[in-house]
């Protein structure tokens, strides 16, 4: 089975949302692995991508590549993106989804229906859901024929899919309801995906971060207060990497990697759930 540095290690990794924060640091940590994978960093900000590649040119040996990519687009556009990605990187075997946005939504003081302000709020919610959930599921669907063919039921090159959700997938922060709902959706999808892909050679590892140093909160002006309690990237990144480098347990469990205080939340609200998920999967009604 795949892990970032197993005996059949990952060769080419795409990190979607790698122009800053968690994605950038995880991408660079993977680049530094002894297995020397090729790492493609993706995001919308071309200048940032170029800057990161240039900063690491001395040590990357040409293995750090940049791909300008906006995932908040419709399915046909994502299909074109994935097709050209696979054409350029036919050995792609791992994808980390770190792209995410977070928006405050105030349902107690909604703008009047039909106004520009109301339309803006609704568009913002749709964009948040698309970026954090729908586009990622779409990309997974588009990438799976490639990953499954390469993995060949476990006999070929293993594949790895890494959704980065959040502790807020488990506990709602009421001022950012769309964000929490999108992360809860992605969490639930990741569990189902992990179960469906058992035995295929493609592994799903969901990372559930706590509050982490990043640019996610910048637009809300909360960075200063949050910085007093967030986990520094230097502390978070090795923990996230360890979740990708650990060999999976033979029973197929361990597809979820809560980090920091999210381990406590996970223990309180998620422990034992996988047993029911497995039971439900076994009891699935037969097709007629
Ligand atoms: N930081 C936290 O406290 C925390 C906690 C739990 C979970 N998370 C999750 O961790 C992931 C990484 O977030 P972060 O904290 O590292 O925040 P960040 O520094 O703001 O990074 C977000 C990344 O997503 C990319 N992105 C946003 N919209 C995109 C789009 N439409 N297409 C392509 N890329 C897009 C951004 O790149 P461009 O702007 O260049 O496109 C950026 O590289 C997110 O999924 C976030 O929800 C973060």
Q: What is the pLDDT of residues 254-285, one digit of tens each?
A: 589 999 999 999 999 998 888 889 899 988 77
Select from 90, 42, 30, 95 the least CA-distant residue to 66.
42
Ligand 1 midpoint to CA 114 (Å): 31
pLDDT at 241 over 80: yes
What average pLDDT does the segment 144-149 reach?
A: 98
For the cut 60, the answer to whether the pLDDT of residue 252 exceeds it is no
Single pTM value for the model? 0.95
Lowest mean pLDDT among 118-127, 150-159, 227-236: 227-236
Contact 261, 53 (CB under 8 A): no
Confidence of residue 1 (pLDDT cuts 50, 70, 90): very low
Question: Residue 277 to residues 147, 166, 287: CA-CA distances in angstroms?
Answer: 24, 20, 19
Whether 178 lines ligand 1, by a CB cut-off of 6 Å, is no
Looking at residue 181, its pLDDT comes to: 98
C-alpha dihedral sign at 14, 41, 43, 263: positive
Would you say 102 and 176 are in contact if contact means Cβ atoms under 8 Å apart? yes
Mean model confidence pLDDT for the chain: 91
**Percent of the chain having pLDDT more than 70?**
92
Distance of CA 182 to the CA centre of its chain: 12
Q: What is the mean pLDDT of residues 222-247?
A: 86
Residue 191: pLDDT band (50, 70, 90) is: very high
Q: Does 3.40.50.720 match the CATH number of domain 12-283?
A: yes
Distance, CA of 102 to CA of 132 (rounded, Å): 9
CA angle 133, 270, 143 (to 5 degrees): 30
- 30, 49, 51, 48: which is closest to 39 by C-alpha? 30
Please indicate whether residue 37, judged by its CB atom, sits closer than 6 Å to ligand 1: no
pLDDT at 225 over 80: no
Q: How far is the CA of 21 from the centre of ligand 1 (A)?
A: 7
Which of the residue ranges 92-96, 130-134, 138-142, 267-271 would you say has the lowest mean pLDDT? 267-271
pLDDT for 223 beyond 90: no
Residue nearest to atom 29 of ligand 1 (CA): 99
So what's the pLDDT on residue 288?
57
Å from CA of 70 to ligand 1 middle = 12
Q: Which atom of ligand 1 is nearest to the CA of 99?
A: 24
Contact (Cβ atoms closer than 8 angstroms) between residue 31 and residue 48: no
When pLDDT is cut at 50, 70 and 90, the band that residue 89 belongs to is very high
Lowest-confidence segment of 47-61, 71-85, 177-191, 224-238 by average pLDDT = 224-238
Give the list of residues 6+ apart from residue 185 with CB closer than 8 angstroms, or none.
Answer: 129, 133
User: Which of residues 4 and 92 earns the better pLDDT score?
Assistant: 92
Total residue length of the chain? 288
Using the mean position of ligand 1's atoms as its centre, give its distance from the Cα of residue 17 in Å. Answer: 6
In this prediction, residue 176 carries a pLDDT of 95
- 101 CB near ligand 1 (under 6 Å): yes
């Amino acid at each position: 089975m795949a892990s970032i540095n197993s005996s059949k290690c990952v060769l080419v990794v795409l990190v979607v949302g790698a122009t800053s924060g968690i994605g950038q640091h995880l991408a660079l940590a993977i680049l530094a692995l002894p297995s020397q994978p090729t790492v493609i960093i993706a995001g919308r900000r071309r200048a940032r991508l170029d800057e990161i590649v240039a900063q690491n040119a001395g040590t990357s040996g040409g293995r750090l590549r940049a791909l300008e990519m906006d995932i908040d687009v419709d399915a046909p556009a994502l299909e074109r993106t994935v097709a050209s990605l696979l054409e350029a990187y036919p050995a792609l075997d791992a994808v980390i989804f770190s792209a995410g946005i977070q928006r405050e939504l105030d349902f107690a003081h909604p703008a009047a229906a039909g106004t520009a302000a109301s339309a803006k709020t609704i568009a913002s919610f749709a964009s948040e859901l698309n970026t954090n959930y729908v586009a990622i599921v779409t990309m997974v669907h588009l990438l799976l024929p490639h990953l499954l063919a390469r993995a060949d039921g476990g006999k070929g090159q293993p594949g790895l899919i890494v959704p980065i959700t959040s502790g807020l997938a488990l506990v709602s922060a009421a001022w950012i309801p769309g964000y929490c709902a999108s992360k809860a959706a992605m969490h639930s999808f990741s569990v189902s995906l992990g179960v469906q892909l058992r035995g295929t050679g493609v592994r799903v590892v969901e990372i559930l971060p706590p509050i982490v140093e990043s640019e996610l909160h910048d637009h809300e002006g909360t960075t200063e207060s949050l910085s007093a309690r967030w986990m520094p990237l230097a502390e978070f990144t090795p923990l996230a990497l360890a979740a990708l480098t650990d060999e999976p347990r033979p029973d197929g469990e361990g597809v979820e990697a809560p980090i920091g205080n999210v381990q406590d939340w996970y223990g309180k609200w998620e422990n034992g759930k996988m047993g029911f998920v497995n039971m439900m999967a076994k009891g699935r009604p037969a097709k007629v």
